[in-house]
Amino acid sequence: MSNVTVKTKYRCPGDMYDISISVCKGRQRALYPKCPVCHYRTEIIAVSSGLEEENSVEPSNPGNNKSRKVVELYSTKDKLINRKIFKSYDIRGIYSVELDEYTSEKIGMATAQFLKSIKDDVRNIVVARDVRPSSNSLARSLIKGITKAGIDVIDIGEVATDVTYFAVGHYNYDAGITVTASHNPSEYNGFKLCHEKAMPISFDTGLSEIAEIASQTMLPTYEQPGKVIEKNVLDDYRRHVLNFATNIRPLRVVIDAGNGMAGKMIPIIFEHLPCELIPLFFNLDGTFPNHEPNPLEKKNLRDLREMVRQTRSHLGVAFDGDADRCVFVDENSQVIGCDIITAVIAKELLQKEKGSTIVYDLRSSWVVPEEIRKAGGNPYREMVGHSNIKATMREKNAVFGGELSGHYYFKENYYADSGVIALIEVLNILSRKNVPMSNLIAPLKRYHATGEINFEVEDKDEKIKQIAEHFKDGKVDYLDGITIEYKDWWFNVRKSNTEPLLRLNLEGKTREIMEHRKEQVIDIIQGE
């Protein structure tokens, strides 16, 4: 007997209810307005011929997007889109192998159609790019696709990802896309997307539908294409970031831009601060000739740590390729865990907003909720991932959020992440307290963590079941993977969304406990 399951219910884009296949086909024949952006569409000729009248408006309102009537369905060569590039939180792949200009154009068209399916009056999408060799051509193709779909593009040029979030939030644009592969090596590229108000578009909130639409070979184009409007947002962005600065002292700071976008953004901000800036790798070079743009890898921090020692600086900071994340080292060149920085910034912001909620990801140290409570705040533990953190921050009206990955989120930054604003807040704290960074964080380094350890595991679900059975006497939860807690240690094991990997984070009250328990958990993960 066949195991094939046939889908008998469809759903129109943006609707909350299912319809039968017969109703779906009837709507297509009746020229239902949502059909052009639906991946269930089958009756292409009927949809194509009817939309000219459906989308027409009086000539007296030429500025309305609805005047851009559909004149044809854009037909492309039947080249398959690699669906694996659509990740949990962004789109990413190896340039020219998994992702190219053809794919980029289709993603532009698909994103425009997706946005139209959930909002009647979509007028514009912000487009930005990082410094990678392929980013310029991918951005041009992306813009071509968006404008073919009848939507204007606000081109803000070569900037950090957090500038895109700022532009969408500050100017009330409908959406934003940054062409970037973040911290990945230069051969990668991709796209980070957000809705209006800088709300993220993740796989669950739109990327899956964009993938479906982009996989079609027939997409609607418009008689009146969208316009491309070049806009310089950097003056407004600088003012926005500097609003977070409060009486910063003339501190000496080493910053490793890693040849990425921080090399452009940091000088714009620091020319208005009294700090002595010692730059490392500020020349923009998307081949990243000095080291990979991933500050979470300690090997990529060697130059930063050495320069902090040589210059006797107060602080060192390394940014990733698109400058939305950063990692700190103290005046002794010791790397500071990103969860410790979350606790430091949280305590500072809670002095201004007593009783506020702080969101942190579940890989973070026990220190984070403990310090938040001490400061009178409400700690809220959340799943890993920027879309999860941002959604919860909005729901809880949280003033701040932090992840172990070096993403820091601010309510006053449209609930979006910004590495530059995180740096400003740390400088505020050092200036006000007038103590070395090592003194500031010493009381917070009271536990011992493994950091994230990855394991190749084929049957990830089965392995998590084994772990749960072995440690069933602990406090267990499944918020994100499995977390098991005891009185003197805890650990979390999560599945990778894109690779056959399990990711382990473990913390103990002493180094001896941490090392012993780490071996114990690793034995189970690697055992048969």
Give the residue among 263, 268, 320, 321 at the shortest CA–CA distance from 132. 321
On the question of pLDDT at 520 being above 90, the answer is yes
pLDDT digits (tens, 9 = 90+) for 301-349: 999 999 999 999 999 999 999 999 999 999 999 999 999 999 999 999 9
Q: What is the mean pLDDT of residues 171-193?
A: 97
Q: What is this structure's pTM? A: 0.86
Do 141 and 174 lie in one domain? The reply is yes
Cβ-contact 408, 422 below 8 angstroms: yes
C-alpha 54/C-alpha 143 separation (Å) is 26
Do 344 and 470 lie in one domain? The reply is no
Under DSSP, is residue 301 helix (H, G, I), strand (E, B) or coil? Answer: helix
Do 249 and 281 lie in one domain? The reply is yes
Do 316 and 211 lie in one domain? The reply is no
Do 423 and 457 lie in one domain? The reply is no
Provide the mean pLDDT of the chain: 89
Under DSSP, is residue 293 helix (H, G, I), strand (E, B) or coil? Answer: coil
In the numeric block, the tokens 């990243």 are attached to 288
User: What is the domain count for the chain?
Assistant: 4
What CATH code is carried by the domain that includes residue 467?
A: 3.30.310.50
C-alpha 393/C-alpha 389 separation (Å) is 6
Q: What are phi and psi of 445, to 5 degrees?
A: -95, 55
On the question of pLDDT at 447 being above 80, the answer is yes
Per-residue exposure over 57-93, b if at least 16 CB sit within 10 Å of its own CB, e if not:
eeeeeeeebebbbbeebbeeeeeebeeebbebbbbbb
Do 155 and 93 lie in one domain? The reply is yes
Instruction: Give the pLDDT band (50/70/90) at residue 221.
Output: confident
Choose the catalytic residue: 182, 186, 365, 418: 182
Q: Which of 174, 195, 230 is the last residue of a domain?
A: 230
In the numeric block, the tokens 């800088």 are attached to 198
Name the residue with higher pLDDT: 40 or 352: 352
Do 385 and 517 lie in one domain? The reply is no
Do 67 and 194 lie in one domain? The reply is yes
Q: What is the mean pLDDT of residues 191-203?
A: 96
Do 398 and 458 lie in one domain? The reply is no
Instruction: Give the pLDDT band (50/70/90) at residue 31.
Output: low
Q: What is the mean pLDDT of residues 419-424?
A: 98
Q: What is the mean pLDDT of residues 9-29?
A: 66
Residue 62 lies in a domain: yes
384: tokens are 């890993």
Do 147 and 57 lie in one domain? The reply is yes
On the question of pLDDT at 216 being above 90, the answer is no
Q: What is the extent of the structural domain holding 21?
A: 9-230
List the beta strands (DSSP E) in 362-481: 378-382, 400-402, 408-410, 416-417, 448-449, 453-456, 475-477
Q: What is the mean pLDDT of residues 283-305?
A: 97
Q: Which of 312, 332, 352 is the last residue of a domain?
A: 332
Residue 1 lies in a domain: no
Give the residue among 221, 190, 210 at the shortest CA–CA distance from 85. 190
First CA to last CA distance, the chain? 34
Burial level of 354, CB count in 10 A (0-12/13-18/19+)? Answer: exposed
What CATH code is carried by the domain that includes residue 413?
A: 3.40.120.10
Residue 443 lies in a domain: no
Residue 120 lies in a domain: yes
Q: Which of 283, 310, 332 is the last residue of a domain?
A: 332
- Give strand pairing partners of 157: 128
Q: What percent of the chain has pLDDT over 90?
A: 80
Residue 4 lies in a domain: no
Q: What is the mean pLDDT of residues 146-155?
A: 97
Alpha helices, H only, 149-207: 161-171
Instruction: Give the pLDDT band (50/70/90) at residue 458.
Output: confident
Do 23 and 138 lie in one domain? The reply is yes
Residue 2 lies in a domain: no
| Cα dist from 139 to 143, 188, 200, 352, 469, whole Å | 6, 14, 19, 40, 49
Do 178 and 64 lie in one domain? The reply is yes
H/E element, 145: helix 135-148
Give yes or no: 182 in active site: yes
Residue 3 lies in a domain: no
Residues 6+ apart with CB under 8 A from 334: 438
